[in-house]
Chain A
């Protein structure tokens, strides 16, 4: 699997994502600066977390308009897999590669901690390594992770099995208690129609080695390597 990691001014999880991808594939991904208009031939484009352009105006808004994102959108249309983590998820929604928007957390505060997730869809190249309904723990760190979409869009996402991950409580249930940021229907990650684009707020790259305190992110990267190699 060949991968590229997009770097915006203000990205700060670009290295972490690159390290996790290198661990999984054995080769370092290409780091692509936001002003580039060409992408190397890759199987996966990863849009990392951070505060692109300071998250000024709206999280991800300015990054979505950067030169490289036009190219990313073109590649996505051709079926190249695109992953957006945290700020990357916000960028993908702003670029309209994924529906909905990520608003200020309902609690209004930045939240950084491991959260319980339920894997809802295991039929994508990103999630095949998990069991359906598996409960995992992955860290989040965001201020704007409150997923919003209108009811029709939410129904469609559910109907088409495009909800990839949901926040759950200590008992593994998607309750209000387990919903750390007020997301509609506890949504933590979604897929596009063709299941080739995934955006999620939690950081799987922060859960790939025992020193991270958990390794529930490993199957995520393993899924990608198995599907795209």
Chain B
């Protein structure tokens, strides 16, 4: 099974990279662009067939390492 972890900055935490991307999109003429937030996607191959066990394991990974919960939120998506 594969897990996809999406890590994004929490709402309210200034995201200078997202802001710069937003500005760049505006200057390219994409006038309809509102707020832009940058995050990262981490793909993990898991030797696990039980979905709930897999999800629990990945959540623990997020809490321990993959996200810094002081500034970041995460979402776990299981694929396959």
Interface pair B14/A62, CB less than 8 Å apart: no
Kindly identify, within residues 41 to 80 of chain B, every residue whose CB is under 8 Å from any CB belonging to chain A.
64-66, 68, 70-71
Q: Which of B13, B20, B64 contacts A148 (CB 8 A)?
A: B13
**In the complex, what distance in Å separates the CA atom of A105 from the CA atom of B13?**
13
Interface pair B64/A146, CB less than 8 Å apart: no
Residues of chain B lying within 8 A (CB to CB) of residue A148: 13-14, 70-71
Q: How far is the CB of B39 from chain A (nearest CB, A)?
A: 12
Interface pair A101/B65, CB less than 8 Å apart: no
State whether A65 and B68 are in contact (beta carbons under 8 Å apart), knowing that A108-B17, A108-B20, A182-B16 are contacts in the complex.
Answer: no
Interface pair B16/A101, CB less than 8 Å apart: no
- The DSSP consensus for interface residues of chain A is loop
A80-96 interface bits toward B, Cβ cutoff 8 Å, 1 = contact, 0 = none = 00000000000001100
Residues of chain B lying within 8 A (CB to CB) of residue A93: 70
- The DSSP consensus for interface residues of chain B is helix
Kindly identify, within residues 89 to 128 of chain A, every residue whose CB is under 8 Å from any CB belonging to chain B.
93-94, 99-101, 103-108
Residues of chain A lying within 8 A (CB to CB) of residue B13: 103, 148
Interface pair A57/B66, CB less than 8 Å apart: yes
Q: How far is the CB of B56 from chain A (nearest CB, A)?
A: 19
Interface pair A104/B17, CB less than 8 Å apart: yes
Tally of contact residues, B, Cβ under 8 A: 11
Q: How far is the CB of A75 from chain B (nearest CB, A)?
A: 21
State whether A106 and B16 are in contact (beta carbons under 8 Å apart), knowing that A61-B65, A65-B64 are contacts in the complex.
Answer: yes
Q: How far is the CB of A26 from chain B (nearest CB, A)?
A: 39
Q: How far is the CB of A35 from chain B (nearest CB, A)?
A: 17
Binding site for B on A (CB under 8 A): 57-58, 61-62, 65, 93-94, 99-101, 103-108, 146, 148-149, 182
Given contacts A61-B68, A106-B16, 10 further A-B contacts (CB under 8 A): A57-B65, A62-B65, A65-B64, A94-B68, A100-B70, A103-B14, A105-B16, A106-B14, A146-B16, A148-B14
Query: What are 23 pairs between A and B in contact, CB < 8 Å?
Result: A58-B68, A61-B65, A61-B68, A62-B65, A65-B64, A65-B65, A93-B70, A100-B70, A101-B68, A101-B71, A103-B13, A103-B14, A103-B16, A104-B17, A105-B16, A106-B14, A106-B16, A108-B17, A148-B13, A148-B70, A148-B71, A149-B70, A182-B14
